[in-house]
Structure 1
Amino acid sequence: MIGTLIAQDFRATRKSIFAVVGIALLVVVISLTLTVLRVPVIGGIGLVVGIVAAAALSVILLGLLVEYYWRTMYGREGYFTMTVPVRGRVLFLAKVLYGLVVALVGAALSAAGLVGAAVAFALSQGLEPFDFLRTGLGMVEPWVAWFAAAALLLQIVYLVVVGAGIMSIGAQGRYNHLSFGAPLLGAVIVYLVMQVVTFAAIMVIPVGIIMVGPDAGTIVPRGMMAEFIAAIGGDAPAAAGGGQSQVLGLGFVFTSAALIALMAWWGVRAVERHTSLR
């Protein structure tokens, strides 16, 4: 049934998704072509426009997912959705899985667009693009690349699951008078609370990764509290790099995972017990 629901979501959104992807890629290609051709003034602007369009693609797709989730779960189409003979958790899971697929594809296309921008810049400067990319990538440590990819994946899962959970919680009958303002307010509250909780977590949770020096990329059993205090106090020797912490606390991984689990449970509970259609 989950596969059937995901297929239905794809059929319902494919036109919008293909339109967004097509327009964004067209803008990227035209803009970067102007850069490669070294068109005076416009060529430089084209590089910026191409980068912005590539980066915006993922954001716009996430916006489409938000609109689609709200409309089909709690808008007029929600009356049809709720007649499907499955439990609320199945509906929630199908929406989340579909959202993850779309978000990951969007991130991949954005990354491809940014690589294209790098190639266009190299060509505009008379450089060999593959050598330019190889040199640039050679400056990035492998562990940094893996860490960045894992962090991006965690962020995508976080945005999709927590976003769906907030919308489902905000759609309860007690918040009907706020309409979509309820999930917007919920998103602001979650953001503010998570800023405080995550900051505390990266300080005190004893798991971190060394960012500089010969041991860079090594996981160590400590957070950032000691070095943070040393940096504030101006004790440069205690914090390598002239007062900058060597260790990045990984407490945000635990807080993000905890919120993902909480919002998944709470979102499913809201769908199954407190759904209130507009």
Structure 2
Amino acid sequence: MIEQTWLLLALGAVCASVLMLGMWLLQVRIHDASHVDVAWAFGTGGLGVLYAVLGDGSTAHRVLVGALAAIWGGRLGTYLLVNRIIGKPEDGRYQELRRRWAPHVDRAFFVFFQAQAAFVVVFSLPFLFVAQDRDTSIGVLAWLGAAVALASIGLVSLADRQLAAWRADPANRGRTCRSGLWSWSRHPNYFFEWLHWAAWAVIALTAPDGWITVVVPLFLLYLLFKVTGIPETEAQAVRSRGDDYRRYQEEVSVFVPRPPRRRPTRG
């Protein structure tokens, strides 16, 4: 079983690297790196389905992995493709990276895209460990984690719809979304995405050596707060919306949803 786990992990790494190589070549041709996010979502979910098909675990565990991975990856990848790629200019974050990395843009993006391939492999680890679980029954802890994972997917989708509805109103142009979940967290999509991976760490705890997957939500927190998540997103928001977004930062929680802080009125 251990040998097959390593073989599946190696296969996943090769698939992810080849996928991101293709995306990098596309970037070289069209000068738009935004599609890397779509590839990351479909690639991670796709590895989950691959592990579910080839895994050595019980049918119940492999069906659980395949179904949840397909739902998560299909929803996120499709959302990003429709709302961030088709008919849209390159994402502002990647435009900024393109500016910083000149004149060696393609070389820098090659490293960046292969780093994304490594992230695909890391985030697919819970799928791999659960797909290798030979226990014929799914325990209460795993069912609880699966319920939280599904709820998180639904809440991320809700946050995306609320943001899309806000942006569709011309009266909101240049203003920060404060609708629904966005009035309780500046990044509800990030929070519920993190909660989804925390739930997968709970599911994997029932699998042999599944405790290792705790690194996934911890790693995601690091990425969100220190690398390309919240810092880059908020810097871009301040550049585009200025004082309106600065007021939003003062009033609304950065991550965990909670009631907004109301600024005192001056008498």
- With normalisation by structure 2, the TM-score equals 0.30
- With normalisation by structure 1, the TM-score equals 0.29
